[in-house]
Chains A and B, each alone.
Chain A
Amino acid sequence: MSPSTLLQLRDVGKSFAETVALEPTSLNIEEGSFVAIVGPSGCGKSTLFNVIAGLTAPDSGEVRLGDQVVTGATGHVGYMLQKDLLVPWRTVQDNITMAARLTRRVTDDDRNEARRVAERYGLGEFLRHYPSALSGGMRQRVAFMRTLVTHQSLLLLDEPFGALDAQTRLEMQQWLLQVWKETGRTVLFITHDVDESIFLSDRILVMSPRPGRVIADLENPLARPRTLDTLTDPEFIELKSRVMHLLHGGGA
């Protein structure tokens, strides 16, 4: 295990009844990297996430975070889904501090941090609002801030922008890259949008279903910072074509 490896999976596999959701899989994720996982539905992406998050105990294998074995344990990653899962009975500020409230007493430091993060990322005027007053994009941003202030170095994002319209989605992707750059977290990002996976990541894991497994592990050579022009870069198109072929058969 190299010193900069944050997450390590060793032969992690999971079956539900007769179905192999995830074949024994081994992975190393570098600290500070942005890794996209792309694949059709049913390829075991979410199972992989739930195993890493500790929600699902794997049938075999081991999950290591830093120098700790965390197989089947929770409370060690930040986690965000397509559904924002904001609670309607709490204000934006209190939603951001939700992780603290669920594990200990919320302190003034927590509230101040929530305020700072919200102000930094353009929601400072909405701290006192209830989530019902926010747009879909704003809600996802609050959900991401809630993930951010858990101070976990590994963030698992499961199609976080999947429910947004194309315009908002592009804004959110650029916003996410900005936050990622500023906070230096390690991001594992599930998507079935190939463009999104290339636009965001340093590295792309392509998965295929029945049984769920990683069929390709690609370096993303595109320079940062990524801009709108990145989307039409020849390298982008080339990588996209490779991923598409991997996903839909026909070889690369």
Chain B
Amino acid sequence: MKRSVLRNVGIPLLSLAVLLGLWEAIVVIFNVAPYIMPRPFDAIRAVTDNWSLLWPLVLGTIQETLYGFACGALLGLGLGVVMAKVPFLQRSLYPLLVLSQAVPVIALALPLVLILGFGRTPIVFIVVWVVFFPVAVNTFDGLSHVDQDLVNLARVFGASRRRTFLQIEIPASTTSIFSGLKIGATYAVSGAIIGELYASDGTSLALYQAHANANLNAAGVYGTTMVMTALGISWFLLVVGTEVLLTPWQRRSVARRALFRRRADVVVSTVQH
């Protein structure tokens, strides 16, 4: 266990440190001017020094991402299910979904502002727009590839369609669904930032960065980028963590006793060993 923690956390942290070291080295060796590329330490300090100013903006971005991701994931799940279950809707909806993703997100922002005005709503809308697609496609794929023999077995046992769906098809698709959610999570923060740049009503993380840029504050620009990146990674890790919690069978050979006990009080006493 200790060893795997070291491998799973230690190695990524090490490569991050190497990346920052490379950045530092490039600035020093090539003598890059600070208004083009500051040192990583200066970029980090630009963040910590202005944290009280940045924090409300970061919170705003988190909220937009949260709302957009939640709505986008639900919409994607719903569309994936509907397409997998109704062939007519699959044929009619799938091309529209692909079309929706052919629209450049930036080109989507301005019409959205015209329709919805400046503020949170168009930003959340953009996040929904970039999140729902990978979730819908992966949910659809997962449900379409459930082993038909397993579905038939459920039928032979006399299962209703609803129970077969909930007990067999959905759990059998979890890996695919989480693939969609993970891709969606990496897009979500980017979507929110693009939205903020075009549609926010005055204060936002993206506009903060634009101001820093206008003031020739390179450290502020780079620092904000680092904050945005950290948000994106955190969001992705949150989804991965949820997957790990919800799919214990992927990593364990024996169910946790706590999990098992809840479902079978009577049995636990006899299988202590």
Contact = CB atoms under 8 A, between A and B. Distances in A.
Interface of A: 53-55, 74-77, 79, 81, 83, 85, 87-91, 93-94, 98-99, 101-103, 106, 108, 111-112, 114-115, 119, 124-125, 127-130, 132-133, 150
B158 A102 contact: yes
B266 A108 contact: yes
Nearest to B265: A108
B260 interface: yes
Interface in B109-155: 147, 149-150, 152-155
B171 interface: yes
Nearest to A100: B157
B270 interface: yes
B171 A87 contact: yes
- Considering the complex of A and B, which 4 residue pairs feature the smallest CB-CB distances, nearest first? A75-B158, A133-B253, A102-B159, A99-B157
Contact of A54 (B156, B159, B249): B156
A112 B270 CA distance: 11
B149 A83 contact: yes
B209 to A, nearest CB: 43
Contacts of B159: 102-103
B264 A103 contact: no
Given A81-B149, A91-B260, A102 B157 contact: yes
A212 to B, nearest CB: 19
Given A89-B247, A132-B253, A103 B266 contact: no
Contacts of A127: 267, 271
Given A87-B150, A115-B270, A125-B273, A103 B156 contact: no
B252 interface: yes
Contacts of B225: none
B172 A55 contact: no
Nearest to A83: B149
B183 interface: no
A105 B257 CA distance: 21
A85 B149 contact: yes
Given A93-B267, A115-B270, A85 B150 contact: yes
Contacts of A130: 249, 252-255
A111 B266 contact: yes
B266 to A, nearest CB: 5
- For B167, B171, B267, B270, the residue with the greatest tally of chain A CB atoms inside 10 Å of its CB is B267
16 contacts: A81-B149, A83-B149, A87-B171, A94-B263, A98-B157, A98-B167, A99-B158, A101-B163, A102-B163, A103-B160, A108-B265, A124-B270, A127-B271, A128-B260, A128-B271, A130-B252
A177 to B, nearest CB: 24
A55 B156 contact: yes
Contacts of B147: 83, 85
B168 interface: yes
Contact of B266 (A55, A77, A87, A112): A112
A155 B172 CA distance: 26
Contacts of A87: 150, 168, 171-172
Contacts of A75: 156-158
Interface string B161-176: 0011001100110100
Contacts of B163: 101-103
Contact of B254 (A76, A77, A128): A128
A111 B171 CA distance: 21
Contacts of A77: 156
A224 to B, nearest CB: 29
Nearest to B250: A88
Contact of A115 (B150, B255, B263, B267): B267
B174 A89 contact: yes
A54 B159 CA distance: 13
Nearest to B270: A115
Contacts of A108: 264-266
B156 A79 contact: yes
Contacts of A83: 147, 149
